[in-house]
Structure 1
Amino acid sequence: MPSKNKKPSTSYERARKRVDDIKGFYGHLTAYIIVNAVLLLARGKFHFMLLSEGALGDPEFLNWIDWNVFGTPIVWGIGLGIHALSVFVRNPFLGRSWEERQIEKYMKKGEK
């Protein structure tokens, strides 16, 4: 009987963790979209301001700004892609069955 009561709890905990993981990914995606949209919009205004006032009109400085504005979505996008894979693609090597096998293995070692 105790295993029947424990199993739904475990299933619930797994489902809850999965929902939390998906929710975390969508929060990450939302931040990615908002921050990068602001960066791209600010880039245009920043270039215009620097060029119109003649302040810091050094082409190397403008190139540095471009690399940062365009590099941020690329590097962050790679991290976001890895996050998406970890949430939505099941890992056959370190998935739930692997975790269960490892738990059983260490529980058996603890009994000896």
Structure 2
Amino acid sequence: MESERKKLKRARRRVEQIKSFYWHLVVYIGVNSFISISKLIRNMIDGETFTEAFLDFGTFSIWIFWGIGIFFHAVKAFSISPIFSKDWEERQIQKYIEKDKQQAEKFR
């Protein structure tokens, strides 16, 4: 019974993390869209062409830097581990078990 409660609690925590990520993503898109459009309009009022205003690094720099934060939030929320996945761990464990068996057989 206790393990079922722990599973439910863990599942609820995961759902909250994913929900938090989606809210973060909505705010990211909304705020950055507003900032980028405002910056485009301000640059065009200051005499730049649309292309010059659009290609200005400052127009989209916040997308890049905040986007890095969004990426790490997604990795945490969805338990993505591109480097050290569960499969990788299992393969490493099996590799070392086999290596130990081979070493033990040498001395028999």
Amino acid at match of 1:10: K
1:73 maps to: 63
Q: TM-score, normalised by structure 1?
A: 0.60
Change (3 A) 1:18 1:34: same
2:77 maps to: 87
Kindly report the root-mean-square deviation, in angstroms, between the aligned alpha carbons of the 2 structures. 2.5
Percent identical residues: 33
Q: Give the Å deviation of 1:90.
A: 4.5
Residues 6-85 of structure 1 aligned to structure 2 (within 5 Å): 6-51=2-47, 66-85=56-75
Task: Provide the C-alpha distance between the structure 2 equivalents of 1:90 and 1:78, rounded to a whole number of angstroms.
Answer: 15
Number of positions where the alignment pairs a residue of Structure 1 with one of Structure 2:
79
Q: TM-score, normalised by structure 2?
A: 0.62
Task: Provide the C-alpha distance between the structure 1 equivalents of 2:59 and 2:43, rounded to a whole number of angstroms.
Answer: 12
Secondary structure of the corresponding residue to residue 34 of structure 1: helix
Q: Give the conservation status (yes or no) of the 8 Å contact 2:32–2:63.
A: yes
1:15-44 deviation digits (Å, cap 9, x = unpaired)? 110000000000110011111111221122
Q: Give the Å deviation of 1:82.
A: 0.8
